[in-house]
C-alpha cells in the first residue's frame, strides 16, 4: 500500500473539547513531520450508556472527576461537525493529513462525506458486527485495531470485512494493547508478525506504551504503519494524556522511525557504497615476514597478513606457498603476482 512507514499522530480526545487545543495539536503534529494527525468522531449517546463506568485508567488519569460517569466525560470531549471542517482546513494549511476514528454508525456516515484516505475500526468495535458491515460499505482503505482481541476474533473480523467486499489490499491490521499506558511486558510485539503470517495481511502497530522504543522496534519488525497518541502536556486532565507523547517526543519518534526505515535496506547482504572505500584500508593482504632473495621458494612462515588489502588476498595464501621469488624483496613487501613464478 505504500513505500514507507506511515506515521499517524493520534490526537484523539487530547484536545479536551477545546478547538484551540485541537489546532495546537495539529501544529505539533505538522512540526514533527508526521503523515497524519487523527482525532475521534462520536456522539456520546450512541457510544455509551449513561450508567457505564469509566475504565480504571480513565479514573486514574482524572482523579478530580472520579465520580463522573463515562457518558458525561465523553460528552465533554465531542467534536462537532463544524469542528471537523475547521480542523480539516487547518490541516491543509499546515500540510498534514487529517484522519478521524468513528465509534458509531452515524459518525461513520459523517466521516464518509469527508473523503478521508483511511477509516479505522477501533479496538472496541472489532466485535461489533453491524459496525463492521457498515464500515465495509464505505469503499475506503481500512485500519483494523486489535486491542483485547484473540486471533480467532481478528480472523472473524477480517472475514466479515472481506465477505462484504473489502479487498485484502485495502486492509492494514494494527497490533495493539488496550491499556493506557501499556506495560512493556504486555506489548508482545512479536504478535504483530504472527498476525501477518496467519492472515497474510499488512500489519502495523498502535502503540500505547510509554516512550518511543516499542514503535521503533515495531518498524524494525515489519510494521508499515505506526499510530501513537500525543498531547501538548501529559499533566493535562483527560483520559489519554498520561499515555501520550509530548511534542518533543513526537519529533524524536518521527526521526527515529525515518532512520530505522532507511536502515532496513533491501535484505541483500553485500558491501554498501559507504563501506567499499574502507575495504582496502581495513582488510589485509599477503606481505613478506623477512627479506627474501631471488630464487627462494616461499614457505608459510615467510608470510604475514597486514593491511592494506590491495595486494594478494590472504584467502589465496595456499596458492602463493611454493612459488619462487623473481627478485630480491625486503621484509614487509606487499606481494603481487608479478613478484612470483607462474
181: preceding bond cis by omega (within 30 degrees): yes
Query: Which cell is 2 given?
Result: 505504500
pTM: predicted TM-score of the whole model, two decimal places: 0.87
Q: What is the pLDDT of residue 50?
A: 83
Q: What is the pLDDT of residue 338?
A: 97
Query: Which cell is 206 given?
Result: 498502535
3-state helix, strand, coil in the chain (%, to 5): 40, 20, 40
Q: What is the pLDDT of residues 309-342, one digit of tens each?
A: 999 999 999 999 999 999 999 999 999 999 999 8
Q: What is the pLDDT of residues 8-32, one digit of tens each?
A: 999 999 999 999 999 999 999 999 9
- In order of start, what are the domains of the chain with their CATH numbers? 6-263 (3.20.20.70), 273-339 (3.90.1210.10)
Query: Which cell is 303 given?
Result: 608470510
Q: What is the pLDDT of residues 215-274, one digit of tens each?
A: 999 999 999 999 999 999 999 999 999 999 999 999 999 999 999 999 999 899 999 999
Q: What is the pLDDT of residue 1?
A: 44
- Distance, CA of 103 to CA of 152 (rounded, Å): 22
Q: What contacts 273, CB < 8 A, 6 or more positions away?
A: none
Q: What is the pLDDT of residues 36-72, one digit of tens each?
A: 999 999 999 988 988 776 666 666 665 555 667 889 9
pLDDT band at 292 (very low <50, low <70, confident <90, very high): very high
Average pLDDT value over all residues in the chain: 95
Amino acid at each position: 500500500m505504500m513505500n514507507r512507514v506511515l506515521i499517524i499522530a493520534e490526537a484523539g480526545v487530547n484536545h479536551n473539547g477545546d478547538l484551540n487545543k485541537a489546532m495546537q495539536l495539529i501544529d505539533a503534529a505538522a512540526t514533527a513531520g508526521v503523515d497524519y494527525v487523527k482525532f475521534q468522531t462520536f456522539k456520546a449517546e450512541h457510544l455509551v450508556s449513561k450508567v457505564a463506568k469509566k475504565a480504571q485508567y480513565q479514573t486514574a488519569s482524572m482523579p478530580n472527576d472520579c465520580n463522573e460517569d463515562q457518558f458525561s466525560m465523553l460528552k465533554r470531549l465531542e467534536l462537532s461537525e463544524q469542528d471537523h471542517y475547521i480542523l480539516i482546513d487547518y490541516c491543509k494549511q499546515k500540510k498534514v493529513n487529517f484522519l478521524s476514528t468513528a465509534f458509531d454508525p452515524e459518525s461513520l456516515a459523517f466521516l464518509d462525506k469527508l473523503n478521508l484516505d483511511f477509516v479505522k475500526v477501533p479496538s472496541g468495535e472489532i466485535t461489533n458486527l453491524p459496525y463492521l458491515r457498515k464500515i465495509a460499505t464505505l469503499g475506503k482503505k481500512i485500519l483494523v485495531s486489535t486491542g483485547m482481541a484473540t486471533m480467532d476474533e481478528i480472523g472473524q473480523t477480517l472475514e466479515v470485512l472481506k465477505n462484504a467486499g473489502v479487498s485484502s489490499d485495502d486492509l492494514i491490521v494494527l497490533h495493539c494493547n488496550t491499556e493506557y499506558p501499556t506495560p512493556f511486558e504486555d506489548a508482545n510485539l512479536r504478535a504483530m508478525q504472527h498476525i501477518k503470517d496467519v492472515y497474510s495481511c499488512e500489519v502495523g502497530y498502535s502503540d500505547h506504551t510509554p516512550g518511543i522504543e516499542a514503535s521503533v522496534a515495531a518498524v524494525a519488525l515489519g510494521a508499515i504503519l505506526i499510530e501513537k497518541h500525543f498531547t501538548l502536556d501529559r499533566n493535562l486532565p483527560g483520559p489519554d494524556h498520561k499515555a501520550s507523547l509530548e511534542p518533543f517526543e513526537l519529533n524524536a519518534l518521527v526521526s527515529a522511525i525515518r532512520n530505522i526505515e532507511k536502515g532496513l535496506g533491501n535484505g541483500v547482504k553485500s558491501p554498501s557504497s559507504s563501506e567499499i572505500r574502507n575495504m582496502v584500508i581495513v582488510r589485509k593482504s599477503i606481505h613478506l615476514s623477512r627479506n627474501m632473495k631471488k630464487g627462494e621458494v616461499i614457505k608459510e612462515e615467510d608470510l604475514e597478513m597486514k593491511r592494506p588489502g590491495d595486494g594478494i588476498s590472504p584467502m589465496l595464501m595456499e596458492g602463493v606457498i611454493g612459488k619462487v621469488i623473481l627478485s630480491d624483496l625486503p621484509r614487509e613487501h606487499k606481494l603481487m603476482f608479478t613478484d612470483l613464478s607462474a
